[in-house]
Structure 1
Amino acid sequence: MRLGFIGTGTITKAVVTGICRFGVPFDRISLSPRNANTAAELATLDERIRVCASNQEVLETSDVVCLAVVPQIAAEVLGELEFDSRHHVVSFIAGISLAELRRLVPQVNRVARAVPLPAVAEGKGSTAICPADEVAKAIFSTLGEAVEVDDECKFDALSAVTATMASFYAVLETQAAWLLEQGLDYSAARAFLSGYCVGLANDAARTGQPFSVMVTQCMTPGGINEQMHTELSRRGAYGLYKDALDGVLKRVRGAA
């Protein structure tokens, strides 16, 4: 497989790093010259990785082309390139629908969208793919969890859920700040909370149980987990999350 990346930012760096670390088979990886420092860094990972002189050279030396530019310049960048029918395009571009992608690269027969997250560099990411795509699945199932969906409404919903990263860390920061008030220093609080989250995530991945079942299993009747869950439920904390996700989904679908 000859892979090419148009755009060399955070997600390209994570994907290429994961490919090299976890043995995704490839014959060559061609990188866009944009963001020269990142491209040069990635080229040191494997002798089969090359930084091209132009985006067009990426196309000429690739069969599978990953699009990783920001949406604001997508039309301009893609409009300057000459694709052909042999190219298999996997787009990481937020807010650019399959219909719009096909309009921008009409020569291409196979187009899919994917939302890889930075943790794919560590083989722990979740990647949504639409529609089902054997090439994208082969890559991202090696780099974590690959979830294929059959229409863009479902894909948009999965994309919306990725908006919870900042709020996840904000909850941890709130807990860390509370621990500081109890006399701990920040490094100890952060270390404890990081390990605590790893344990919870491991249980979620390991058991495959519905989250509702895991909620119940964590709560001893009259215990402190039940107290916390009951208090947050009473105050509508979880409902606020749903409302916020509804707002994000409207924005995602409005941009598509």
Structure 2
Amino acid sequence: MRLGFVGTGAITRAIVTGLTHAKAPFEHIYLSPRNTDVAAGLAELDSRVSVCPTNQDVLDSSDVVCLAVVPQIAVDVFKELRFVARHHVISFLAGVSISDLKQMVGPDSAIIRAIPLPAVAARKGSTAICPPDEIASLLFSHVGTSVEVSDEGKFDALFAVTATMASFYAVMETQAVWLEKQGVDYESGRAYLAAYYDGLSYEATTGKEPFSALVQSSMTTGGINEQLHKELSSTGTYSNYSAALDNVLKRIKGS
């Protein structure tokens, strides 16, 4: 696989770092010259990674082309480039549909949308792919879990739940500050919570039962988990969370 990246930002850095650390069987990775320091640092990771003089050189050298620029400049960047039928295009552009991408890069190339997240650098986390695609699935299976969906409505829903990162850490911060008020210094509380949540994620990632089953198995009748869960349920915390996701999805869909 000859893999090229147009755009060299945080997501490109995470993917290339993950692929090189995983010793993935790619032939070569070609990087955009944009963001010189990041590109140069990635080229030092592996002899199979190099920086091209121009974005067109990235395309000319690659079979699989990852689009990793911000959506606001996509039209200006892509109109200067010549995509050809052999290019297997994987787009990371948030909110840009496959039909819009075909307008930008041409109808001849295969076009896939994907949502890689920063954790792929450590070969963790998940990447949503639409539509199902053997090449994209293989690529992202080296750096975490790849999840394929058949239409962009489902893809947009998976994209919407990535809006929960800040709120996830906000819950952890709330707990750390609460512990601090109980006399536990912040650093100790943070260390405890980070490992605690890592343990909870282990339960989720090593099994296949519904999360609702994990909810039930975490509670004993009259216990403290049941107490907190019931209080949050009764005050509408979970339903408010769901409503907030509905609003995110409306924004993604432009409605």
Q: TM-score, normalised by structure 1?
A: 0.98
| 1:70 counterpart residue number | 70
| 1:217 counterpart residue number | 217
Identity of aligned pairs, percent? 59
| 1:191 counterpart residue number | 191
| 1:243 counterpart residue number | 243
Task: Give the conservation status (yes or no) of the 8 Å contact 2:128–2:158.
Answer: yes
Task: Give the conservation status (yes or no) of the 8 Å contact 1:84–1:107.
Answer: no
Taking the aligned partners of 1:109 and 1:9, their CA distance within structure 2 comes to: 24
* Counterparts of residues 89-238 of structure 1 (less than 5 Å): 89-238=89-238
3-state DSSP class of the match of 2:83? coil
- Measured against aligned partners, the alpha-carbon deviations of 1:140-197 in whole angstroms (never above 9, x if no partner) come to 1121110000000000000000000000000000000000000011110000000000
Taking the aligned partners of 2:197 and 2:97, their CA distance within structure 1 comes to: 34
- Measured against aligned partners, the alpha-carbon deviations of 1:198-254 in whole angstroms (never above 9, x if no partner) come to 000010001111000100000000000000000000100001110110000001111
| 2:86 counterpart residue number | 86
Amino acid at match of 1:36: T
- Measured against aligned partners, the alpha-carbon deviations of 1:42-89 in whole angstroms (never above 9, x if no partner) come to 000111111011101100111100000001001111111011111110
Taking the aligned partners of 2:233 and 2:127, their CA distance within structure 1 comes to: 30
Task: Give the conservation status (yes or no) of the 8 Å contact 1:83–1:107.
Answer: no
For residue 134 of structure 1, report the CA deviation from its aligned partner.
0.8
Superposition RMSD in Å: 0.9
Taking the aligned partners of 1:187 and 1:55, their CA distance within structure 2 comes to: 44
- Gap runs ≥5 in structure 2: none
- Measured against aligned partners, the alpha-carbon deviations of 1:103-157 in whole angstroms (never above 9, x if no partner) come to 1111533110000001011111200000011111001112111000000000000
Question: Are positions 1:46 and 2:55 aligned together?
Answer: no
Taking the aligned partners of 1:6 and 1:63, their CA distance within structure 2 comes to: 13
Task: Give the conservation status (yes or no) of the 8 Å contact 2:83–2:109.
Answer: no
Amino acid at match of 1:224: I
- Gap runs ≥5 in structure 1: none
- Measured against aligned partners, the alpha-carbon deviations of 1:7-28 in whole angstroms (never above 9, x if no partner) come to 0000000000011111221111
Amino acid at match of 2:127: T
Taking the aligned partners of 1:108 and 1:164, their CA distance within structure 2 comes to: 36
Taking the aligned partners of 2:190 and 2:9, their CA distance within structure 1 comes to: 28
Q: Which runs of 4+ in 1 moved over 2 A?
A: none
Task: Give the conservation status (yes or no) of the 8 Å contact 2:63–2:86.
Answer: yes
- Report which stretch shifted further, 105-114 or 216-225: 105-114
